[in-house]
Amino acid sequence: MLNRRMLLASIAGTGIGTALFQRSVVGAMVASNDVSVESIEQAEWITGVELSEDERNEILKSVSRTGDAMEKLRKVELSYNTPMAIQFAPTASTNQQLKLDRAAKTQQSVVVELPKTEEEIAFLPVHQLAWLIRTQKISSVELTNIYLRRLKKYGGMLRSVVTLTEELALRQAAKADSEIARGWYRGPLHGIPWGAKDLIAVEGYPTTWGLPQFKDRELEGTATVAARLEEAGAVLVAKLSLGAIAMGDKWFGGMTRSPWNPRIGSSGSSAGSASSVVAGLVGFALGSETLGSIISPSVRCGATALRPTFGRVSRDRCMPLCWSLDKIGPIARSMEDCALIFNAIHGGDGRDSTAGSYPFQWPSKRSLENLKVGYAKRRNAPDSERKDLMILKSMGCDLVELSLPRSLPFSAMFSIIDVEASTVFDTMIRENDMQGFNLWEKSFRAAQYVSAVDYVRVQRARSLLIEQFDEAIAEVDFIINMNDLVQTNFTGHPSVVMPIDYRDRDSVRTPTPVILSGHLNDDERLLAFADAFQANVSAHQEHPDLDGWLDLYNAEELDESEDAGNL
């Protein structure tokens, strides 16, 4: 028997009736468990649409033709790495390079004293760890073992670790030490331990996507971003947790916790990446974002992160959730760290057709003079009392009050994610194999009723949003704290996040974030500006005291709270 999706697509293809009528036919079919002239007539009665006998028969013929075609198509095996033949591009820019210069270096050659304790070492930012590694004040093997010990000690409490890659890590670290001893220094990531969100494939290790069904599944090949970090000399120490299928902070291992307050979740879906970085379990991590999954957990945990312009980083062999929205980006302890990591992973690879090779240089030589920054006034906080604006003024920036486009129905645009994601997981949906899907089950089932016409209409509205957003920010260089998470994800604009302060309540610290967004493909200048901004704060240098929480965890006295998180 034909399913509801086939029927709906067939009826829509005839052009007969309204959307309400078409869905009513589906409802009538479900009630009678068949498609017949009678079920079509029932839909006519529901909607007040009158069809001729010829039109009813045409619908039945169309259903049959489409059904036969779709049944044949379902027998064609489509892997998770098979993208759509159409792709989203937020900009028509053709300023790409045939060969990228990845010779990044830290901005200042400062002398870093080796801290006396492992904990102090673990919380150093990448650019300082790089100096210690390069000057052989500490070996990569020593640093890797520090992080492995911390992963084993705190990873269980935070539920941030899916798989330790200890054997691989020690092998890569020993290789890094040998190369550096011979005078072959690959750059600032050489010998630095990192963690991968567990939707990034690494050959020889499970890639679970947070689902119990894939707990032991190994995918063929290694993702481009992981391969590029290996080429830069970085050391993979762990696959880190994500909310199941990139939703929230709950996976088959439980709820990933915030290192500042492990009684609550770390938000999602790059839950383990943000939590592990802020807890000092890794030097840095990679996360992914479809609609908030880098920014949201970084806000909750107090991490520093970059969500790049759409199309700047390959998603090859990374779990597809939404081909026209997914982005991969770094989560670290400083903006300079994010720039160094981005320098290693950005650029086309011939595998992800959306990924382009645009210029990027670090340290940046782009001018940061005479900048204009857009902002929105707040009812409960005068401009003179806002720390973010005071810092901008001290930097010599001109503040420009502006508003962002909000006339389009963003709720309709969310269907882009539901439709594309339900296509990725279509086989599991049809087989009712949705254990551990979090809230996706309802969304995926509802997405079956979105017509192709509506999907294309939403994507066209998205093009309009990009035009409106570009027009809104045309006269400024950046915007700050403008609640633009939804807009910039749909438009593809880059954003960064960092902690600026903390709120203290009942002996619990909660990070207060700053979010800056910039123009399309202007990631370099955005990072340079954010780095200059971060030089005026110290919140990113603070770290949580985990041992007190660990005592509570070992005594089974930590509570969990529900947290939906982001995608």
As annotated, the active-site residues are 197, 269, 293
Non-local (6+) Cβ contacts of 16 within 8 A are 51, 55, 58, 59
Return the number of other C-beta atoms located less than 10 Å from residue 6's C-beta: 21
DSSP class per residue in 11-72: HHHHT-S-HHHHHHHHHHHHHHTS--HHHHHHHHHHHT----HHHHHHHHHHHHHHHHHHHH
- Residues 556, 559, 564, 567, CA torsion sign: negative
Return the number of other C-beta atoms located less than 10 Å from residue 551's C-beta: 12
Question: How many angstroms separate the CA atoms of 261 and 258, rounded?
Answer: 5
Return the number of other C-beta atoms located less than 10 Å from residue 548's C-beta: 11
Q: Are 367 and 397 in contact (CB under 8 A)?
A: no
DSSP class per residue in 355-401: -------SS-----SS-EEEE--BTTB-GGG-HHHHHHHHTTPEEEE
3-state secondary structure at position 227: helix
E strands along 129-215, which residues? 161-164, 193-197
Element (H, E) at 408: none
Q: Report the phi/psi class of residue 40: left, alpha or beta, with left for phi > 0 and alpha for psi in -120 to 50.
A: alpha
| Tally of CA atoms within 13 A in the half-sphere of 106 that contains its CB | 20
Characterize the bridge pairing of strands 398-401 and 495-505. Answer: unpaired
Question: How many angstroms separate the CA atoms of 314 and 223, rounded?
Answer: 9
Nearest by Cα to 461 from 493, 495, 488, 490: 490
DSSP annotation of 487: H
3-state secondary structure at position 471: helix
